[in-house]
């Protein structure tokens, strides 16, 4: 199980403020599943224009936060596979290989292809802490189905399925 802070997430994802919507990763099985946190604060720029008299986090941004958590799961899985392949090559090579360059995995973050059966059960408001859970499902070619859910405490506020693609 791997934990990641905001600085480590920024090294992994190409997203930046105000569109980086993942504050911390608290559970991670690279390439398989993960759980992240998004702290919802009143200082978020979207609260100025989205229901200004009733601060509600836009559902599309909750979905984006889930997609970013999905990208972390995928990217860490890809990094792990690359490192394992490098070690295998180094172990079988006769000559000592120089260390590989640092991999910029953020340039390989895939695309959100589809949002399916997304249900929004409860509004998310300032002060809430979103627990973002993702689990990679079936893959066909470069497309994968991802089961996602967001919780505030023990209450599920959003759940559904995303389809994502790897970058060609």
Catalytic residues: 50
Residue with token string 């172990």: 91
CA distance 78 to 84: 10
Q: What angle do CA 97, 74, 143 make, to 5 degrees?
A: 115
CA distance 117 to 132: 17
Structure tokens at 28: 């991670």
Alpha helix segments (H runs only) across the chain: 6-12, 59-92
CA distance 86 to 44: 41
Structure tokens at 75: 């990217």
- Interacting residues of 1 by C-beta distance below 8 A, sequence separation 6+: 27, 28, 29
CA distance 34 to 162: 14
């Amino acid at each position: 199980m791997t934990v990641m802070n905001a600085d480590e997430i920024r090294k992994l994802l190409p997203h930046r403020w105000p569109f980086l919507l993942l504050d911390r990763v608290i559970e991670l099985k690279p390439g398989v599943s993960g759980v992240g946190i998004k702290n919802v604060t009143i200082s978020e720029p979207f609260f100025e224009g989205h229901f200004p008299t009733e601060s509600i986090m836009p559902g599309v941004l909750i979905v984006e936060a889930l997609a970013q958590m999905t990208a972390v799961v995928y990217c860490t899985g890809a990094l792990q596979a690359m490192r394992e392949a490098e070690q295998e090559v180094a172990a079988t090579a006769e000559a000592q290989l120089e260390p590989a360059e640092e991999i910029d995995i953020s340039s390989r973050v895939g695309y959100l292809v589809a949002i399916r059966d997304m249900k929004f059960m409860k509004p998310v408001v300032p002060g809430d802490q979103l627990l973002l859970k993702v689990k990679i499902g079936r893959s066909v070619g470069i497309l994968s189905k991802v089961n996602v859910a967001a919780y505030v405490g023990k209450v599920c506020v959003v759940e559904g399925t995303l389809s994502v693609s790897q970058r060609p």
